[in-house]
Amino acid sequence: MADYGDKATNFSEWFHNILEVAQITDARYPIKGMAVWLPYGFQIRKHTLNIYRELLDKDHEEVLFPMLIPETELAKEGIHVKGFEDEVYWVTHGGPTELNEKLALRPTSETSMYPMFSLWVRSHIDLPIKQYQVVNTFRYETKHTRPLIRVREITTFAEAHTVHSTSEECREQVETGIEIYKALFDEMGIPYIISKRPVSDKIRGAEYTMAFDTIMPDGKTLQIGTVHNLGQTFAETFDITFENKEGEHEYAYQTCYGISDRVIAAAIAAHGDEKGLVLPPTIAPKQVTIIPIIFKKGAEEVMAKCEEIKEALESNGIRVDMDTRDIRPGKKFFDWELKGTPIRFELGPRDLENNKAVIGRRDTEEKIEISLDEDIPAKIIELLGEIDAYLKENSWKTQESHLVEVDSLDDVAGLVDDGKVISFHWCGDEECGKAIEEETDVDVLGITEEDIETDKVCPHCGKPAKHIALMAKTY
């Protein structure tokens, strides 16, 4: 058995190895922090985005804005851009000619989209606007880069931007964004924690930020999605105004929410094992791999039956591959274990004589004997549903095992070093939060429950607790 590293004890090594050997990405591109999506990885990405688009298309319109942003537009939103100013890539020349104005490769899209919103919005009848795009963004990341997790080119920046006439609609849209991302992560079997970010960690210029985090195998949390209530801050900056029903002009209200390549990293981390990928059926490039076991005698009959089964599965909407490579069956089994195909369908001459086949589940490694007279597509669909349910249940159980509630901060650092995420009662005071982070050297992730009724007190300052909050090491 190949040794890819232990996912729990050395996640970083395991993750890098899996990306390479399973042919997800190739990090050898000659710019640090930029990688190539290989065909197999790109298929996983495609199926992930298919789920995303299906969810967004119900109530949003897909658009595509330019990549280049004039320096003057980027500078308009100084508060927001401040978070990216040291990470901006600049285009300064067109061929040998120096440009009159520097152009930024988008670090995020507010400053490219919102000047156009100001042209499109005139009256309340133009609202709401609900648009999204899937683009690449660029940030000169100076920290240690990690494929799909911390990169200089985010190749899958899926972001929605909305414009509304009232603050209430804005708050409702935040809840809609949260429900969309819950549905996406649920489909992929990615467990998550939803929290309201501390003031110091919300997007600059936003009224508040809601975030989705997942706990990685090493106990660190990875932010996989954010939903921001922008209020009127950006509307005031970019002059997005509308005439209301009373004939008065006022600034619009906005939200934005996005995900990135990290979603795919989270799915790989949540389900993979020591043998490689374990892919949920929803995002697996092929949901079934048929492996004909060929000998000279009976080869034609086996191939004909495999082709028949492949056609039947595909006609039922199942993604199927048939491995006809001239190599040993054991090598084929090994390869498809590594690539995480949910179901392996094996058929050889002896199986055909006995009117049966063998189905192998990647998740439980169970082998199931099936009659060829059975309704094979129905059986496969049933098993795919069972695999989906198993992976979801298992990933949530794993996440829950990392969560620990404490009443004291005495051993927080030790618990976190052991791969735990800490839940505690908190007063909500920002200065207290900063002091907790300094004392423990652990980040206050966010608030999971607000305005609770409890007799418990904050473990740092002793004041009455108002919230339940989380602390964790983060990526």
Strand partners, 215: 221
Residues 20-69: tens digit of each pLDDT: 999 999 999 999 999 999 999 999 999 999 999 999 999 999 999 999 99
pTM: 0.95
260 shares a domain with 119: yes
381 shares a domain with 420: no
161 shares a domain with 89: yes
Instruction: Please say which residue of 351, 386, 421 terminates a domain.
Output: 386
139 shares a domain with 44: yes
Spell out the residues 6+ positions from residue 27 whose beta carbon is closer than 8 angstroms to its own.
Answer: 16, 19, 20, 35, 147
Range of the domain at 461: 403-472
Spell out the residues 6+ positions from residue 138 whose beta carbon is closer than 8 angstroms to its own.
Answer: 89, 105, 106, 107, 152, 153, 154
169 shares a domain with 133: yes
Within 10 Å of residue 325's Cβ, how many Cβ atoms? 9
Residues 254-283: tens digit of each pLDDT: 999 999 999 999 999 999 999 999 999 999
Question: Which CATH number characterizes residue 241's domain?
Answer: 3.30.930.10
User: How many domains does the chain contain in total?
Assistant: 3
346 shares a domain with 245: no
For residue 442, being part of any structural domain is answered with yes
Is the model's pLDDT at 203 over the cut of 90?
no
Rounded Cα distance, 323 and 412, in Å: 50
For residue 172, being part of any structural domain is answered with yes
Distance between the two ends of the chain, CA-based, in angstroms? Answer: 30
- Greatest Cα pair distance, the chain, in angstroms, is 84
Question: Which CATH number characterizes residue 446's domain?
Answer: 3.30.110.30
157 shares a domain with 70: yes
For residue 93, being part of any structural domain is answered with yes
Phi, psi of 216 (to 5 degrees): -80, 165
Q: Categorise residue 451: left if φ over 0, alpha if ψ from -120 to 50, beta otherwise.
A: left
Rounded Cα distance, 16 and 19, in Å: 5
112 shares a domain with 148: yes
Instruction: Please say which residue of 208, 238, 271 terminates a domain.
Output: 271
Q: State the pLDDT confidence band at 194, using cuts at 50, 70 and 90.
A: very high
For residue 5, being part of any structural domain is answered with no
